[in-house]
Structure 1
Amino acid sequence: MEVDIGNALGSVATPGVSRGSLERLDERVADAHERIEAGIGDREHGYAALALPETADPDAIRAAVDPIDCDTLLVVGIGGSALGAATIADALDLDIDVHTLDNVDPDHTRTLLDSLDLSRTALHVVSRSGTTAETLANFLVAREAMESAGVDWTERTLVTTGEEGNLRGLAERHDLPALDVPAGVPGRFSALSTVALPVAALGGGDVEGLLAGAGAEAEGLTGSLFESPAYAYGATTYALAQRGWRVNAMMPYAESLETFAEWFAQLWAESLGKEGVGQLPARALGATDQHSQLQLYRAGPRDAMVSLVRPRERGDVSIPETDLEGLSYLGGSSLGELLDAEFEATEASLAAAGRPNVRVEIDRVDAHELGGLLYGMEAACVLAGELYLVPTFTQPAVEWGKRAARGLLGGGEFEEAAAVEEKERLVVD
């Protein structure tokens, strides 16, 4: 992963970050790096995620998926229990179709299950606690659909969960293959673990390549933002947020990385959005959203930075010659050349308007580079959390909503549920 922060500098963006400010900030980065290194070494909660390239066990993952033969994998989870797998599946050329049940919209769940050949579908059910309401509800629905179709769900289900909980008990009762969620790793940081790597293992993907790419990025973490791409990204986004750029639009220029932007949105929002600080992550896709969102980022409120991501190498498609008036310039070029021109034009357009943007490049979209990109963004997020002085690995606002929903469903007495009845109403019909 390479990061170019030139268009975030004060010579381009208004307001931007001066080189002197970055040099002063680098002293804090050095201190934060020491804290991060110690946390990794001690496998502290959260920091343990950055040790995954070393601690993940590809052999255990392959052993767990070995009994399962499928054409389609249905990942049943929510948030970090599904987004990492979806990102890997969409980015890599796997041998199986992958779908996720990461919401409890009944229309979507029924439509998806009805569309699948359940006799050739496997389930990967992911919940650290084993009690996640949305995940367990979708699993029960999917299990019933399999039973109704005459399919033995016990032969087609893999579980990733904690040492205790309902899901662990179910796995033991039915002798299901089960993997342990990694200790001390929050779900949104778990893409390089037993939570998401089984999708690659089942689909013939390069699990070792993902971890090797992450490991290479880990080796590049130093005590300076001028030497570490991950820290350059984390520190620069922090510095821009301090100057009022409170939106971070993640805009990959590759269809295969569209879900990566969704994964990034959870990572950035849930980790850093605390105590009145953080950045609002927006999801965009180049070049598609040049025709929609870019208008806002270039000419709207001065609060949005843009992160532009692209692979340097990709497959290509030639554009045929044409005699259509005004389009002859396209003939003889390619879609790849056009996409690169769109990327660079967007970058220049934002810079010309004084809007900060950061370029993130990988060599290509493959397992090694994807592993590095995922790890790099996780490390950037951890560093940003250190600079914001927030508890990066907690999510109290999310837990509040979970308790309220559980109370409404009769899952216990939770004072948060009472707030639903106290809602202020002004209905216009």
Structure 2
Amino acid sequence: MITWSNLDTLPSYKKMLSLKGQVKLAEVLGNADAAKRVAEYSVPMAAGLKYNYAAKQVNEQILSVLSDLAKEAQLVEKFEALYNGEVVNTGEKRMVLHQLTRGQLGKDVMADGKNKRDFYVKIQKDIADFANKVHNGELVNEKGEKYTSVCQIGIGGSDLGPRAMYLALENWAKANNTFKMSANFISNVDPDDAASVLASIDISKTIFILVSKSGTTLETLTNESFVKDAIKKAGCEVSKHMIAVTSETSPLVGNPDYMACFFMDDYIGGRYSSTSAVGGAILSLAFGPEVFAQFLDGASEADKTAKEADIRKNPALLDALIGVYERNAQEYPATAILPYSQALSRFPAHLQQLDMESNGKSVNRDGKPISYVTGPVIFGEPGTNGQHSFYQLLHQGTDITPLQFIAFNNNQTGKDVVIEDSTSQKKLCANVVAQIVAFACGKADADPNKSFAGERPSSLIYADALTPKTLGALLAHFENKVMFQGFTWNINSFDQEGVQLGKKLAKAVLSKNYDGALKAYSSFFGL
């Protein structure tokens, strides 16, 4: 029987707190046995990825306690309950089914009078059929011309995840002859966003994808009107240029302005929706349905590893538990995501939403206040750009920030140049290695301004190359990590009430139903 208990009620929690500061990275990585630790503190992931945590402040005793914590908190059992269709989203009283979009992990899940796995497979097939018709010229614009670009209109999870995934695979697709259509994204209600994108594309050859589960999202519908107006001004028919990703009960269904609708449901949160129709439509149109299928295969492989009870065989669970140790025992307030791959330029932004919107909670699953910290602040940028920006604070600032490096042996395009006896890619990888050791071991110097304290923990996720399959596995790894951490903290990682208050107050301002501070600040903008 599964029990949902606050973290601080578990015996292993107090043991974990007592082990704070036990490991000194300069000692374990600055001696003759360092190579042995680097080799042993490594776990295979899905799709050829590996997770190395040798530069984390853990040892066998800490790992043993974390393993006990996983058992006491019943983390794997809670995941099993989730994928078998139990209602784990207590805030909205819903099942959580994003893993089901990429594979069957357990028993059949029935909802809304249908088998949900069959439902998601059908949507994927419908999108693939539509994309193939666009690519082979069966579906054309009002002039009989083929479409050459696609543009997604959405915000939050309807933008960040799909945008990050598109950018991650754009160069790979071009190098592997699977690039079909260029993609753009409109998300911000700031009219400059839509205006800039529309000015850069040929509207007459573009398919716009409106993504809104309810069909009533204010920012998205505002941009929809902006885009429709631009389509008409370009002398085009709206119905030849728009499709929707929405729910089956949305007012967008049956709207003659849309030539097709692909469905999502309430069981998949926006930040978890990249493997649903939200990501599927734009990725299938941009790169082809086969590439999207490979992406799903990688995510499915990662989900299967998340079922393992042994934390040494479950990289998402291990990563999650080390993160809990860093947050609750080490009291580190933030985590930096540092991909040494330009293709992952927007991946940190997606993970920022995934993690902070999921685990930025101060009450438990029953709505009762908790007395321990939960999700960290997430931020990041691609290396080596970040090295010339915020790494100064990471190396010598007063706070310690754990780091998660992501790197690949090879780039996506195969194009490179040799300068001073090494390629650009080798230089990139050399910087990853150097930063891990520099953060961990530091450097003493007679000049305090040049002294590095070290003891900055990091992990490394790496593979041969970033492909659709490795990207899917990478995405699912972090989704599952966030899930396991939410279970550990006994919070609901699948609602986001924190985004609602601002929306309500903005509507009050626009309707002039305000007084006090709202009215005072509104006067600054003529509202």
TM over 0.5: yes
Q: 2:205 aligns to what?
A: 120
- 8 Å CA contact 1:36–1:47 kept in 2: the answer is no
Aligned-pair CA distance for 1:316: 4.7
Structure 1 residues 418, 265: closer, same or farther in 2, change over 3 A?
A: farther
Indicate which of 267, 271, 280 corresponds to 1:188. Answer: 271
Structure 1 pair 237–90 and aligned structure 2 pair: CA distance change class (3 A): same
Which of 64, 81, 96 in structure 2 is aligned with 1:38? 81
Q: Shift of the alpha carbon at 1:6?
A: 1.6
**Partners in 1 of 2:356 and 2:310 — Cα distance?**
24
Which of 147, 162, 186 is equivalent to 1:70? 147
Task: Answer yes or no: is the 8 Å Cα contact 1:255–1:285 preserved in 2.
Answer: yes
**24-33 vs 347-356, which moves further:** 24-33
State the partner residue of 2:100. 51
* 317 and 61 in structure 1: CA distance in 2 versus 1, 3 angstrom threshold: closer
Give the Å deviation of 1:409: 2.1
Counterparts of residues 100-179 of structure 1 (less than 5 Å): 100-168=185-253, 171-174=254-257, 176-179=259-262
Match of 2:68, SS state, is helix
RMSD (CA atoms): 2.2
Q: Is structure 2 residue 126 aligned with structure 1 residue 25?
A: no
SS at match of 1:104: coil
Question: How much has 1:115 moved relative to structure 2?
Answer: 2.1
Counterpart of 2:518, as a letter, is V
Label 1:267 to 1:418 Cα distance change in 2 as closer, same or farther (>3 A).
farther
Amino acid at match of 2:187: D
Give CA-to-partner distance per residue, 1:206-255, whole Å, 9 cap, x none.
12101111111111121232111111222211211112211111110111
2:509, 2:522 within 8 Å by CA — same for their partners in 1?
Answer: no
* CA 356–422 in structure 1, closer or farther in 2 if over 3 Å, else same: farther
Letter matched to residue 100 of structure 2: A
Give the Cα–Cα distance (whole angstroms) in 2 for the partners of residues 214 and 349 of structure 1: 32
Q: Give, as a single letter, the amino acid of the residue that structure 2 aligns with 1:53.
A: R
User: Which of 334, 337, 344 is the equivalent residue of 1:257?
Assistant: 344
Corresponding residue SS for 1:393: coil
Aligned ranges for residues 241-390 of structure 1 at < 5 Å?
241-242=327-328, 243-275=330-362, 277-314=374-411, 315-320=413-418, 330-352=419-441, 353-390=454-491
Aligned 8 A contact 1:72 1:122 in 2: yes
CA distance, structure 1, for counterparts of residue 68 and residue 252 of structure 2: 46
Residue 8 of structure 2 is matched in structure 1 by: none
Is contact 2:239–2:256 with CA below 8 Å preserved after alignment?
no
Q: Match of 1:163, SS?
A: coil
Question: Is the aligned partner of 1:392 residue 2:493?
Answer: yes
- Bigger-Rg structure (1/2): 2
With over 3 angstroms needed to count, the CA separation of the structure-2 counterparts of 1:318 and 1:123, relative to structure 1, is closer
Deviation at 1:25, TM superposition (A): 1.9
CA distance in 1, matches of 2:239, 2:435: 50
Q: Helix, strand or coil for the counterpart of 2:428?
A: helix
Q: 1:200 maps to what in 2?
A: 283
Q: 1:114 and 1:4 mapped to 2: Cα distance?
A: 45
1:4-59 superposed Cα distances (whole Å, 9 cap, x missing partner) = 122112xxxxxxx4432322222332411101111111164463112221234231
Task: State how many pairs are aligned.
Answer: 404
Task: Give the C-alpha shift of residue 277 in structure 1.
Answer: 2.4
Q: 1:43 to 1:120 in 2, by over 3 A?
A: farther
Q: Distance in 1 between matches of 2:69 and 2:127?
A: 38
Amino acid at match of 2:319: Y
1-structure distance, mates of 2:474, 2:516: 42
Q: Name the counterpart of 1:14.
A: none
AA matched with 1:50:
Q
CA–CA distance in structure 1, aligned partners of residues 275 and 335 of structure 2: 24
CA contact (8 A) 2:316 2:481 kept: yes
Check the 8 A contact 2:339/2:382 in 1, yes or no: yes
Distance 1:107 1:318 in 2: 36
After superposition, give the CA deviation of every residue in 1:81-124 in whole Å (9 maximum; x if it has no partner): 11222122111123221111110122232122122210011101
In the alignment, which residue of structure 2 is the partner of 1:323?
A: none
1:7 is aligned with what amino acid? A
Question: Which residue of structure 1 lines up, in the alignment, with residue 113 of structure 2?
Answer: none
Kindly indicate whether the alpha-carbon contact (under 8 Å) linking 1:316 and 1:335 is maintained by their aligned counterparts in 2. Answer: no
Classify the secondary structure of the residue corresponding to 2:465. coil
Q: How does 1:220-235 map to 2 (within 5 A)?
A: 220-221=305-306, 222-235=308-321
Query: Which residue is equivalent to 1:407?
Result: 508
Q: Is the 8 A contact 1:212 1:368 kept in 2?
A: yes
* Contact 1:47–1:185 (Cα < 8 Å) also in 2: yes
**In 2, Cα distance between the equivalents of 1:218 and 1:278?**
22
2:108 paired residue number = none
CA distance in 1, matches of 2:287, 2:193: 28
Q: How far did 1:164 drift?
A: 2.3
Residue deviations 1:363-415 (CA, integer Å, cap 9, x gap): 3211111111111110111001111221101111101111111222229x7x9
| Structure 1 residue aligned with 2:114 | none
What is the CA distance between 1:419 and its match in structure 2?
A: 5.9
User: In the alignment, does 2:90 pair up with 1:7?
Assistant: no
SS at match of 2:159: helix
Bigger Cα displacement from structure 2, 102-111 vs 338-347: 102-111
Distance in 1, matches of 2:349 and 2:274, equals 13
Instruction: Quote the Cα distance in structure 1 between the aligned partners of 2:503 and 2:130.
Output: 31
CA distance in 2, matches of 1:349, 1:42: 45
Cα distance in 2 between the residues matched to 1:318 and 1:85: 28
* Amino-acid identity (%): 24
Q: Secondary structure at the match of 1:373?
A: helix
Residues 43 and 250 from structure 1, CA distance in 2 versus in 1: closer, same or farther, beyond 3 angstroms?
same
What amino acid is aligned across from residue 229 of structure 1 in structure 2? P
Shift of 1:183: 4.0
Q: Distance in 2 between matches of 1:224 and 1:398?
A: 36
Asked if the contact 1:362–1:373 (Cα under 8 Å) also holds between the matched residues in 2, the reply is: no
Q: Which runs of 5+ in 2 are unaligned?
A: 1-48, 88-93, 104-116, 134-138, 141-145, 174-178, 363-372, 442-453
CA deviation digits over 1:140-170, x for unaligned, max 9? Answer: 10011000111112112110111223333xx
Runs (5+) with no aligned partner, structure 1? 10-16, 321-329
Would the aligned equivalents of 1:220 and 1:228 in 2 still touch at CA under 8 Å? yes
1:420 matched to which residue of 2?
Answer: 518
CA contact (8 A) 1:306 1:358 kept: yes
Q: Secondary structure at the match of 1:6?
A: coil
